[in-house]
Amino acid sequence: MSNDTLTYVTEEMRSAQGKWGGTRTAPPITETDIRRWAMATYYPQQPPRIYWDADYAATTQWGGIVAPPDFNPFAWPVERPRGGSPGVSGRRPDGKPLTGMNGGQTDTYGVPMRPGDVVSARSRLLDWWEREGRLGHTLYVRTEIEWRNQDDELVRTRMSISIRY
């Protein structure tokens, strides 16, 4: 049964569309953060030396340890910003809160992240669409997220799709 009037799009989303939000800044990246990330994503095998062996890394094009491109310096903030993306507070017709899931992303990488780097992020809602899916009425939201380091060099641009159902 279709419901033409059902929408999970909120006024908050409409007013935020296209506007860059505030900048968030991550704690400085440490060698240990990078080593643990690489060990977790390569588990149970040993990660490449570029991610944990400073002497070896000094001999490469990077001149020192770099983080894996997918490394997230924003994990484990002491103070967590409230909310998240605008408009996740919707409810399903059965009264349950919406479930959010990661739909995919495209990342373009600039300079690598290194120990000591302080990365800042800003994001904006680009657009969204809705359809009836396997999990019922489903909202897809596209967000652009930009990361820069302490020298204002572009680290990463992410186009992200989140799913809410």
Partner 1 sequence: MAIDFDKVALGDKLPEWSRRTGFAEWNRYAAVNEEFVPFHMDDEAGRRAGNEQGAFGMGNLRYAYIVNALRDWIGDDGIVREVGCQYRAINQKNDVLTVVGEVTEKTVVDGENRVRLDINVVNQDGGVTCPGHAVVVLP
Is 30 a binding residue for partner 1 by CB under 8 A? The answer is: no
Residues 67-126 that bind partner 1 (CB under 8 A): 68-70, 72, 75-76, 99, 101-109
Cα–Cα distance, 102 to 160 (Å, whole number)? 8
Sole binder of partner 1 in the list 23, 54, 62, 154 (CB under 8 A): 62
Region near partner 1 per CB under 8 A, out of 3-11, 23-31, 62-70, 123-131: 62-70
Smaller CB distance to partner 1: residue 16 or 165? 165
Is 48 a binding residue for partner 1 by CB under 8 A? The answer is: yes
- Output the smallest distance, CB 152 to partner 1, in A: 20
Residue with tokens 């990342």: 107
Is 60 a binding residue for partner 1 by CB under 8 A? The answer is: yes
